[in-house]
């Protein structure tokens, strides 16, 4: 009487010639003396043969309409990517300019700049009341 039965996965490997020489010999000796394992091996063989007898299936070919729709969706996706890129590029350029631009120093208000330029051109002449602030 045999020590242990051969597990189903090992019987399947034995049937498919996937065991090494020693393991295959051990399984063959066991199956020759064990009714239970011999029956299981016969069932595995019948299942394998039945599966091999089934007709092979072909994957369905896409119809022209499905193929056209697929190409259309691909074009829309490419267009969307281009739009996103076109929107992102100016933002990235502006952010880079802001970061790399650094400090521009103190900005002089336009009124003060006008007064300084006016005084320089006129040699200290009168400043118009509306610009100079009148009686302040």
Tens digit of pLDDT per residue, the chain (136 long)?
446 888 888 999 998 889 999 999 999 999 999 999 999 999 999 999 998 898 888 777 767 778 888 889 999 999 999 999 999 999 999 888 888 876 766 766 677 777 778 777 777 766 666 654 554 4
Structural domain contains residue 19: yes
Instruction: Examine the domain organization and report whether 12 and 44 are in the same domain.
Output: yes
Structural domain contains residue 17: yes
Instruction: Examine the domain organization and report whether 49 and 73 are in the same domain.
Output: no
Is the pTM higher than 0.75? The answer reads no
DSSP class of residue 2 equals -
Q: Which domain holds residue 49?
A: 8-53
Structural domain contains residue 115: no
Structural domain contains residue 42: yes
Residue 6, class by beta-carbon neighbours within 10 Å (0-12 exposed, 13-18 middle, 19+ buried)?
buried
Structural domain contains residue 107: no
Structural domain contains residue 62: no
Structural domain contains residue 87: yes
Instruction: Examine the domain organization and report whether 72 and 36 are in the same domain.
Output: no
């Amino acid at each position: 009487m045999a020590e242990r039965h051969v597990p189903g996965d090992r019987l399947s490997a034995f049937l498919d010639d996937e065991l090494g020489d020693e393991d295959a010999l051990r399984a063959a000796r066991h199956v020759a003396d064990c009714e239970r394992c011999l029956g299981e091996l016969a069932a595995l063989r019948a299942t394998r043969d039945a599966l091999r007898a089934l007709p092979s299936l072909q994957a369905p070919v896409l119809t022209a309409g499905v193929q056209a729709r697929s190409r259309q969706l691909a074009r829309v996706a490419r267009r969307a990517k281009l739009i996103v890129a076109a929107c992102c590029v100016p933002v990235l350029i502006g952010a880079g300019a802001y970061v790399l631009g650094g400090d521009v120093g103190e900005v002089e208000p336009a009124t003060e700049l006008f007064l300084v330029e006016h005084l320089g051109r006129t040699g200290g002449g009168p400043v118009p009341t509306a610009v100079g602030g009148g009686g302040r």
